[in-house]
Structure 1
Amino acid sequence: MTTSLPVSAQTAAPGSPSRAGGHASFQKARRRASTQALLLALPLILFLLSTFIAPIALLLARSVQNREMPDSMPALTRALDAWDGRGTPDEHMFALLASGLKEAQETGQLGTVARRLNFAQPEFRSLLMRSARHLPARPQPAWKPALVELDERWNSPETWRVMKRAAASPTPDYLLAAVDAQITPQGSVGFVPDNASVYRQAFLRTMSISATVTFLCLLLGYPVAWMLANLPAKSSNRLMLLVIVPFWTSLLVRTTAWYVLLQPGGVINSLLTGLGLTTHPVPLIFNRAGVLIGMTHVLLPYMILAIYSVMKSVSPVYVRAAQSLGAHPFTAFVRVYVPQTLPGVGAGCFLVFVLALGYYITPALLGGAGDEMISQLIAMQTNTQLNWGLAGALSAYLVIFTAIFYFIFNRIVGIDRLRFG
């Protein structure tokens, strides 16, 4: 007697053609859905690549690029690359130097080359400019005596070694200069004295200011977030507007407002003097105090919102249970409530610290000469010195430091496990 399987059993049988066809259809539908999602996100991806990722990558690439001499004096660059660096070059090298100076002067690239060489060795710009101006117009039977007669430094091997290093690409010069280091004449790496250090001190100053601002934001933001999380919904929503409103105001406007308030004759000093608390204006601007006040005011909402989002999800049952078991209210708050809010504290501290690292407007307007942060030095290199290589090196170190801080913070706190509500 033959017994036939039900239709459902035949369909569910492993390896059956209908089951394989259903799996293929499912995979095809998934691929179609993934393709549609990618196409929808493609405009945003292209926008981020063209306006955010690509400019940052190009700036970071400038930290090792060295195209000034290779682009302006290609023949001399190739000869310098083949030169062993011993003694003074031969007549052929001097002839290439003369032709390179003439060509760069005619194309208007001599200033760019001079600026690059002056970065490697001070007063090199004057050497190139003077030699180019007084270079004989007619070809010389021997260029070496003619150039040495113009300036004795052309007879120094060190001058040519500097040009050889400046013609090499990629180069470590900018990355070394960004930490106040340089290649010595002997070929080793040496650091400038501490009293002449500029960029190392700026990095330390940037980290110190960022850490202080983070601590002040946490100190002020935690009580505010707790109050907002524990007030009735109607009152909390009204007070939340005071936290959100600063986001609707331009950063420059907020910083300029503090510029007016902190003046020696401003509102704050007038109030302190009128109340008899001080007899003379307190210095609150163009120093570290002004930078901390301005940056704390701007970044405080980020800390409040990060902590509030976690506090709102913390149930008050745990604190009441601890108190019912005999714990003091303060003990119950510290040992039961605070640990549950640590994810928000960690997220707020990380967000404020990272944002503070790259601040520019507030320190530039409210700070003094001793409060320059790395962002100000980067802006100076791009806008004033036109040294994009050094600006790229400083930016690279700032990006590397941020990535290291994220890695350490993630290992200690676990930022990928932080919850926001």
Structure 2
Amino acid sequence: MATAQAVPSDRVMRAADGTPLKVALARAERSQKLRAILLVLPLFLFIVLTFVAPIGKMLWNAVHDPDVAENMPRTVQSLGGWDGKDLPSEEVFAAFVADMQEAQKNKQAALVGKRLNYELSGIRSKVIATARKVGALTEGPYKDAVIGIDKIWGETETWATIKRSSSNFTPFYILSMLDLRQGADGSVERVPADRAIYQDILLRTLGISLIVTLLTLILGYPVAYMLATSPQKTASILMIFVLLPFWTSLLVRTTAWMILMQDGGVFTQLLNLTGITFVLNMLGAIDGEPQLFKTRFATIVAMTHIQLPFTLLPIYSVMKTISPTYMRAAKSLGGTPFYSFVRVYMPQTLPGVAAGCLLTFILCLGYYITPALVGGPTDQMISGFIERAINSENNWGKASALGVILLIATLILYYVYNKLVGIDRMKLG
């Protein structure tokens, strides 16, 4: 590096080439920052393209609803002054006929029908049929003619649905995934009880995730303690068994549980040999052999097996940093082994417990393969309904709204975790 020298005339420190020292240092810092940015740029672009952009698209699809507004502009404009009490005026029906004729010409009637069908079941086929028949209408009056094509156009609820769907942005999808809907006057209300299913699905997803998280904590905490306090040779062998499940794919492990849990499988035979099946039959809990496959029990057991290392490893990494002198000091001051463990050792492991439980709970929220293979119809979680909305229903708005709900649940969990534990208080080794 060039040496610095003082110039007596202006008393400014300069480098050997005459450049002021401050300018030379600033130039060197800019060069280092640019080099660092170039090194980070590939990872940043990867995160933006594979993580930030898909989440942004999901948020957009959850509220973006242009199908009716783009394909029925005249009807949407005419319905702007409709009060929703009686049937719309002749002007609205005339605009409706013009829009349907245009939609039929552009082959967009099915798109309009599909969107309206999300709120009014069975209307899709009626929209398509109406779009074909209104081509014969060349002059008014249109109101009676349209109602004559199908009586559904004589119901105020149909036009209220069209008006609610007339904006490019709508809360419909998110409200629907919470078993809510907008009334004719725009107020939010609950859907009828026979159509309310998504709150139960959300509670089911949260409940299964919570149970699996607690089971992995109960099973993983003692193992993590044993790993952290055992001699290095023993701990290394035990760690291999902990990491062994990572050597096989999730699908293979789930398939193995299908074989173990099937009727007449290993678990059923084990319950028969130990007499548990006989006791359960005597108590009236079951009738015949226990049915384990396609049950909530099978789903929870399989998910617990898969998630156990994700809870155990953060706890172990924190336990490994805790000095054994704390326990020895507590015992020397008169504390019993149990009291010392609970009051001295356990509080120091809370950051690892919180991190492991948070990781497991968030991963469980997005489970799809395991509940689909080993769970029954009443054990499917939100991810299964997202898959069905995309692949079977082609309803990206519904899928995106469910994804937004999962994202909000994850952010709330992280916020609570950060408030209780704090990311800066984690002591990962």
**Unmatched 5+ stretches in structure 2:** 279-287
Q: Secondary structure at the match of 1:190?
A: strand
* Aligned match of 1:149: 148
The residue that corresponds to 1:180 in the other structure is 179
2:190 corresponds to which residue? 191
Instruction: Tell me how large the CA RMSD over aligned residues is.
Output: 2.6
2:62 alignment counterpart: 63
- Give the AA of the match of 2:269: S
2:421 to 393, 413, 419: 413
CA distance in 2, matches of 1:381, 1:409: 31
**CA deviation after TM superposition for structure 1 residue 225, in Å:** 0.7
Give, in whole Å, the separation in 2 of the partners of 1:345 and 1:175: 33
1:335 is matched by which residue type in structure 2? R
Alignment of 1:92-103 (within 5 A): 92-103=91-102
Question: How many angstroms apart in 1 are the aligned matches of 2:298 and 2:366?
Answer: 17
Counterpart position of 2:233: 234
Greater shift in the superposed pair: 160-169 or 267-276 = 267-276
Q: Could you tell me how far apart the structure 2 residues matched to 1:275 and 1:404 are?
A: 44
Tell whether the 8 Å contact from 1:131 to 1:150 is kept in structure 2 after alignment: yes
Q: Kindly state the Cα deviation for residue 222 of structure 1 after the two structures are TM-superposed.
A: 0.6
Q: What is the one-letter code of the residue matched to 1:110?
A: A
| Residue type of the alignment partner of 2:98 | S
Distance in 2 (CA, whole Å) between partners of 1:119 and 1:268 is 43
Query: Among 319, 339, 348, which residue is 1:340 paired with?
Result: 348
Query: How far apart are residue 48 of structure 1 and its match?
Result: 1.9
| Maintained 8 Å contact 1:120/1:166 | no
5+ unaligned residues in a row in structure 1: which ranges? 1-6
Deviates more, 1:205-214 or 1:265-274: 265-274
Per mean C-alpha deviation after superposition, the further-off stretch among 350-359 and 320-329 is 320-329
1:170 alignment partner, SS class: coil
Equivalent residue letter for 1:257: A
Task: Please name the residue that 1:358 is paired with.
Answer: 366
For 1:316 and 1:276, locate their aligned partners in 2 and report how far apart those are by CA, in whole Å: 44
Return the letter of the residue paired with 2:315.
I
Amino acid at match of 1:119: Y
Q: Which has the higher contact order (CA 8 A, sep 6+)?
A: 1
Instruction: Please give the per-residue CA displacement for 1:142-162, whole angstroms capped at 9, x wherever unaligned.
Output: 333321221233233432221
2:208 aligns to what?
Answer: 209
**Letter matched to residue 110 of structure 2:** G
Partner residue of 2:295 out of 274, 281, 287 = 287
C-alpha contact 2:4 2:21 (8 A) present in aligned 1:
no
Corresponding residue for 2:389?
A: 381
Letter in 1 for 2:294: F
Shift of 1:65: 0.8
- How far off is 1:405 after superposition? 1.5
Give the Cα–Cα distance (whole angstroms) in 1 for the partners of residues 147 and 192 of structure 2: 34
Moved more, 265-274 or 70-79: 70-79
d(CA) in 2 for partners of 1:31, 1:132: 65
1:392 and 2:400 aligned: yes
Residues 305/188 of structure 1: CA separation in 2 closer, same or farther (3 Å cut): same
CA distance in 2, matches of 1:197, 1:369: 16
CA offsets 1:260-313 (integer angstroms, 9 cap, x no match): 111121111122223433244322221211111011111100111101111111
Partner of 1:48: 47
Q: Is 89-98 or 256-265 further displaced after alignment?
A: 89-98
Paired-residue identity, %? 44
- Other-structure match for 2:108: 109
Residues 66-115 of structure 1, C-alpha deviation per residue, up to 9 Å, x if partnerless? 11123333443444446565643444432332232233334332222111
Q: 2:155 is matched by which residue type in structure 1?
A: S
* Secondary structure, aligned partner of 2:322: coil
Task: Report the alpha carbon displacement of residue 360 of structure 1 after superposing the two structures with TM.
Answer: 1.1
Cα gap change, 1:8 to 1:254, in 2 (>3 Å): closer
Deviation at 1:212, TM superposition (A): 0.9
Shift, 1:30, TM fit: 2.0
Report the more deviating stretch, 141-150 or 82-91.
82-91
User: 2:411: which partner in 1?
Assistant: 403
1:262 aligns with 2:261: yes
| CA–CA distance in structure 1, aligned partners of residues 307 and 387 of structure 2 | 21
Distance 1:314 1:86 in 2: 71
Instruction: Say whether the 8 Å CA contact 2:94–2:140 is kept in structure 1.
Output: no
TM-score, normalisation: structure 2: 0.89
Partner of 1:3: none
Q: Which residue identity does 1:368 align to in structure 2?
A: G
TM-score w.r.t. length of structure 1: 0.90
Distance 1:222 1:159 in 2: 57
One-letter amino acid of the counterpart of residue 217, structure 2: L
Letter in 2 for 1:24: V
Alignment of 1:162-177 (within 5 A): 162-177=161-176
Distance 2:162 2:194 in 1: 28
Distance 1:73 1:243 in 2: 60
Task: Number of aligned residue pairs: give it.
Answer: 414
Q: Give me the whole-angstrom Cα distance separating, in 1, the residues matched to 2:216 and 2:85.
A: 59
Distance 1:84 1:405 in 2: 43
CA distance in 1, matches of 2:183, 2:88: 20
Letter in 1 for 2:55: I
Partner of 2:289, secondary structure, is coil
Kept after mapping to 1: 8 A contact 2:294/2:375: yes
Q: 1:417 is aligned with what amino acid?
A: R
Contact 2:175 2:181 in 1 (8 A): yes
Note if contact 1:269-1:281 (Cα within 8 Å) is conserved in structure 2.
yes
Q: Report the AA paired with residue 181 of structure 1.
A: L
The answer to whether the 8 Å contact 1:180/1:191 transfers is: yes
- The answer (yes or no) to whether the contact 1:346–1:415 under 8 Å persists in 2 is no
Distance in 1 between the 2:192 and 2:102 partners?
Answer: 39
Q: How far apart, in 1, do the equivalents of 2:208 and 2:23 lie? A: 58
The one-letter amino acid of 2:416's match is: I
Question: Which residue is equivalent to 1:22?
Answer: 21
Is the contact between residue 81 and residue 168 of structure 1 (CA under 8 Å) also seen in structure 2? no
Partner amino acid, structure 2, of 1:243: V
Offset at residue 193 of structure 1 (A): 4.9
Cα offset for 1:190?
0.8
